[in-house]
Amino acid sequence: MSKNQHQARKRFGQNFLCDVSVVAEIIKLINPQNQDHLVEIGPGFGAITQELLSHCQQLDALEIDRDLTKHLQLEFSRHDNFILHNADALQVELNSLRLGQEKLRIVGNLPYNISTPLLFHLLKQIDCINDMHFMLQKEVVERIAATPGNKNYGRLSLMVQYHCAALALLDIPPSAFQPAPKVISSIIRLTPHAQLPFPADDFAIFSRVVHDAFNQRRKTIANSLKHLTDKAQLTAAGIDPRLRPEQLSLENYVSISNYVSNSN
């Protein structure tokens, strides 16, 4: 089956990378090493897969589209270090792919329609991960890497940056894909912190504080979190209660959540 014969499926968010110069740039950014165990999410027709296989110890490819798994099996089964899984990445437990206690390197052209839930699914398994390189909609990358005071800064920024350092690396034009998407894509590198810079005493409370704050982001932090804390407690935690949610740093949110959890 060729690219021309395969009808891209909207429900899987399929846009296939076809620009060889862009592929070469991406491989340079990932910089795969001979000892690496890679997991590729959504390999499609294998544009990146082909290059990764010659520079790693093992590559597990997760592809949900059965038609594409047939193509990938025919194309790459001759490689001893290639393992193909016809699977939904949202359901895969990374621990099941590990060989012992090694850390996995995750790469992928993530479907736009599931990128956020997939990121959250992977963050729950952060202990298994060495680093992640993803191609995402540029808007999503800007949200992930945003800093306080930026209009793109929000829940996604905080939840990812709690676990990882985030670095936007490369913009990719629609012309590099087939079919061409209507948006610009970007590559982002996510590197798990060796030690959490601001550990929460109770991660569930931290998650709730962040969620509730940005659920009403136009209000002051005191108003958006009034069901959890009050102005006096925010002040005691070192937070100006008049600030809006996008003005607070990761450290500020951890301080609030720790104050709430210890008060409870």
**Where do the structural domains in the chain lie, given as residue ranges?**
10-192, 203-263
Query: According to the model, what pLDDT value does residue 1 have?
Result: 45
10-192 and 203-263 have identical folds? no
What span, in angstroms and rounded, lies between the C-alpha atoms of 175 and 250?
Answer: 37
The pTM of the full predicted model, rounded to 2 decimals, is 0.91
What span, in angstroms and rounded, lies between the C-alpha atoms of 94 and 208?
Answer: 25
Residue type, 154: G
What span, in angstroms and rounded, lies between the C-alpha atoms of 191 and 130?
Answer: 7
Query: According to the model, what pLDDT value does residue 7 have?
Result: 45
Q: How crowded is residue 54: how many other Cβ atoms within 10 Å of its Cβ?
A: 11
Query: According to the model, what pLDDT value does residue 11 have?
Result: 45
CATH fold for domain 10-192: Rossmann fold (3.40.50)
Query: According to the model, what pLDDT value does residue 263 have?
Result: 83
Query: According to the model, what pLDDT value does residue 75 have?
Result: 94
Q: Are 107 and 43 in contact (CB under 8 A)?
A: no
Query: According to the model, what pLDDT value does residue 14 have?
Result: 58
Query: According to the model, what pLDDT value does residue 16 have?
Result: 84
What CATH number is given for 203-263 in this structure? 1.10.8.100
DSSP class of residue 89?
Answer: G
Q: Which residue has the tokens 């590197």?
A: 191
Q: What is the mean pLDDT of each run of 10 residues along the chain (264 residues)?
A: 44 72 96 97 93 96 93 95 96 95 95 90 97 96 97 97 98 91 94 97 97 94 95 92 97 96 82
What span, in angstroms and rounded, lies between the C-alpha atoms of 103 and 38?
Answer: 9
Query: According to the model, what pLDDT value does residue 13 have?
Result: 47
Query: According to the model, what pLDDT value does residue 8 have?
Result: 43
